[in-house]
């Protein structure tokens, strides 16, 4: 387990370019299994989760060519389906959440998939009902095999149908879309997730020859085709990383220019930071965050306390609430953070309370933050990163704190943020990585 030693109190100054979006890249890489032809993907982030997924595909027999540090060509023309029955496959697939999206493409193209309980953040219950019901509705059968602690999914051809999803699951929608593109006839998915990750997946599938209507909405109509071909796709900048840097800049009083953020795909994120009192200057496709001596949280128009709650797109991503929470501790004013989707994502506030933040954890889903208006800066401490986004929030807290903090288990941060220590040190942060 590696650790970050973070010397707090340094202001950063300079430019930073967001990496490609982790959650989009996971979908896109899985979609390469839908064709025997070569697919080229650009702007792939060099992070643990992505590298693990790419090497899993290589183990399955896909030809993987790294064209540059952030672009790959993947060709699934010789997939070894027997590999799915090996303990090695189950071990690797279980290590990352993104592997759940191998299900749709494997069933659609090969009629067979094995799905061990996927990894990813332990942030609460993460059920897979939407995935399973959707794939079953298309005609696949599903059996839980206790001997290998995995689901085995089989299909002898899939058939399109109408389905109303029980929830707008992001990876669930991706799985069903990837299965439906090769199903016979028309599939209609209502209450589909429509995050930019899903929009981008649909665009790439369309470039491969799929017929998809309603991209960007929660009603997708997919007319199945017999085969898909190769394509060239560029992953969008990671909107969660963009949000993390906005929060980090404000909290540390730094002036940072975020380059090429794909502003129009950030949805409600910039306005949400503005409501926290953070000045965001859009300059073309860049965002400039000027140095803040202070920032003040707005109230709602009727004067009631501001609330940030997560919601499926175009609502606020649950992946940014930890950042909003930590940044609010140094604002003037108060805010309620309401994490509706996951029940274990707010427990890290204990550490912020140890550091001197005024936070009341009302229940597992809600935390009230009373900003100190920078009157009392946070005090350094030692903490363990429980998940990616709590990890980045802890890093932001440590960077703004007085003294030197330690963050252990930073593999959790590395899962989603590329070389974060190097990139921040280049603009003035003081972060040392200690690898055991
Ligand atoms: C690899 C990947 O892409 N991971 C993202 C994906 O996870 P993932 O696709 O696993 O998350 P889901 O969209 O399925 O849902 C997450 C949780 O929220 C609940 N739920 C979901 C939809 C809804 O309308 N109401 C509701 O309460 C679900 O019950 C579930 O427990 O989407 C999550 C929600 O944006 C993000 O946090 C994850 O970073
Ligand atoms: C929860 C997240 O990731 P995963 O779904 O991979 O656990 C995240 O990206 O914040």
Q: How confident is the model at residue 125 (pLDDT cuts 50, 70, 90)?
A: confident
Looking at residue 258, its pLDDT comes to 98
- Same structural domain, 143 and 261: no
Which is the closest atom of ligand 1 to the Cα of 97? 1
Known catalytic residue at 436 = no
Ligand showing the shortest atom-to-Cα distance for residue 166: 1
| Ligand 2 in reach of 416 Cβ (< 6 A) | yes
At residue 16, does pLDDT exceed 90?
yes
CB atoms within 10 A of CB 397: 30
pLDDT band at residue 78 using 50, 70 and 90 as cut-offs = very high
Q: How far is the CA of 274 from the centre of ligand 1 (A)?
A: 25
Contacts of 266 by beta carbon, 8 Å cutoff, 6+ apart: 239, 242, 243
Structural domains of the chain, count: 2
Which residue's CA is the closest to the ligand 1 atom numbered 14?
169
217 lies in the same domain as 296: no
Which ligand 1 atom sits nearest the alpha carbon of residue 126? 31
Q: What is the DSSP string of 140-154?
A: -EEEEETTTTEEEEE
pLDDT digits (tens, 9 = 90+) for 239-287: 999 999 999 999 999 999 999 999 999 999 999 999 999 999 999 999 9
* Predicted TM-score (pTM) of this structure: 0.97
Q: Do 271 and 300 sit in the same domain of this protein?
A: yes
* Minimum-distance ligand 2 atom for the alpha carbon of 49: 6
Q: What is the mean pLDDT of residues 188-206?
A: 98
Q: Are residues 281 and 412 in the same domain?
A: yes
Q: At 289, which CATH number? A: 3.65.10.10
Looking at the structure, tell me whether residues 265 and 182 fall in a common domain: no
Q: What is the DSSP letter of 318?
A: G
28 lies in the same domain as 7: no
For 187, list phi and psi in degrees, rounded to 5.
-115, 130
User: Of the residues 219, 234, 249, which one is the last residue of a structural domain?
Assistant: 234
Mean model confidence pLDDT for the chain: 96
Query: Above pLDDT 90, what percent of the chain?
Result: 94
- In this structure, the answer to whether residues 79 and 162 fall within a common structural domain is yes
Which domain does 204 fall in, by range?
A: 22-234
Q: Which residue lies with its CA nearest to atom 10 of ligand 2?
A: 319
Q: How far is the CA of 18 from the centre of ligand 1 (A)?
A: 22
Boundary (domain end) residue, out of 234, 264, 294: 234
Based on the domain organization, do 292 and 353 belong to the same domain?
Answer: yes
186 and 250 part of one domain:
no
Chosen domain end from 205, 234, 263? 234
**341 labelled ligand-binding:** yes
Q: Are residues 225 and 256 in the same domain?
A: no
- Identify whether residues 357 and 406 lie together within a single domain: yes
Proportion of the chain in helix, strand, coil states, percent, rounded to 5: 35, 25, 40
My answer on whether 249 and 200 are in the same domain is no
């Amino acid at each position: 387990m590696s650790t970050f030693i973070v010397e707090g109190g340094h202001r950063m100054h300079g430019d930073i370019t967001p990496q490609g979006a982790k959650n989009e890249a996971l979908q896109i890489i899985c979609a390469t299994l839908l064709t025997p032809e070569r697919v080229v993907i650009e702007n792939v982030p060099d992070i643990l989760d992505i590298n693990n997924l790419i090497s899993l595909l290589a183990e399955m027999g896909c030809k993987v060519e790294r064209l540059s540090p952030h672009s790959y060509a993947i060709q699934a023309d010789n997939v070894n389906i027997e590999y799915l029955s090996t303990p090695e496959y189950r071990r690797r697939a279980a290590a990352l959440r993104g592997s759940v999206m191998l299900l749709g493409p494997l069933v659609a193209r090969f009629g067979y998939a094995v799905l061990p309980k996927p990894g990813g953040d332990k942030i609460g219950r993460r059920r897979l009902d939407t995935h399973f019901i959707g794939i079953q509705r298309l005609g696949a059968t599903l059996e839980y095999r206790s001997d290998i602690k995995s689901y085995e999914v089989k299909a002898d051809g899939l058939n399109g149908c109408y389905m109303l999803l029980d929830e707008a699951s992001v990876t669930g929608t991706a799985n069903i879309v990837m299965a439906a593109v090769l199903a016979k006839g028309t599939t209609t998915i209502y209450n589909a997730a429509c995050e930019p990750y899903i929009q981008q997946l649909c665009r790439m599938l369309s470039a491969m020859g799929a017929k998809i209507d309603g991209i960007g909405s929660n009603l997708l109509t997919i007319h199945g085709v017999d085969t898909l071909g190769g394509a060239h796709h560029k992953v969008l900048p990671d909107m969660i990383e963009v949000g993390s840097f906005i929060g980090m800049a404000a909290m540390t009083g730094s002036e940072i220019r975020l380059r090429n953020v794909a502003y129009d795909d950030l949805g409600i994120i910039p306005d949400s930071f503005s409501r926290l009192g953070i000045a965001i200057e859009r300059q073309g496709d860049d965002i400039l965050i000027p140095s803040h001596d202070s920032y003040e949280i707005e109230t709602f128009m009727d004067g009631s306390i501001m609330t940030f709650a997560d919601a499926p797109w175009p609502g606020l991503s649950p992946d940014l609430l930890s950042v909003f929470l930590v940044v609010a501790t140094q604002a003037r004013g108060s805010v309620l953070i309401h994490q509706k989707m996951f029940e274990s994502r707010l427990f890290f506030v204990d550490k912020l309370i140890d550091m001197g933040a005024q936070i009341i954890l009302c229940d597992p889903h809600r935390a009230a933050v009373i900003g100190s208006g920078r009157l009392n800066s946070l005090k350094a401490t030692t903490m363990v990163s429980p998940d990616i986004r709590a990890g980045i929030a802890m890093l932001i807290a440590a960077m703004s704190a007085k003294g030197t903090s330690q963050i252990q288990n930073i593999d959790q941060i590395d899962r989603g943020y590329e070389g974060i220590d190097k990139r921040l040190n280049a603009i003035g942060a003081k972060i040392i990585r200690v690898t055991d």
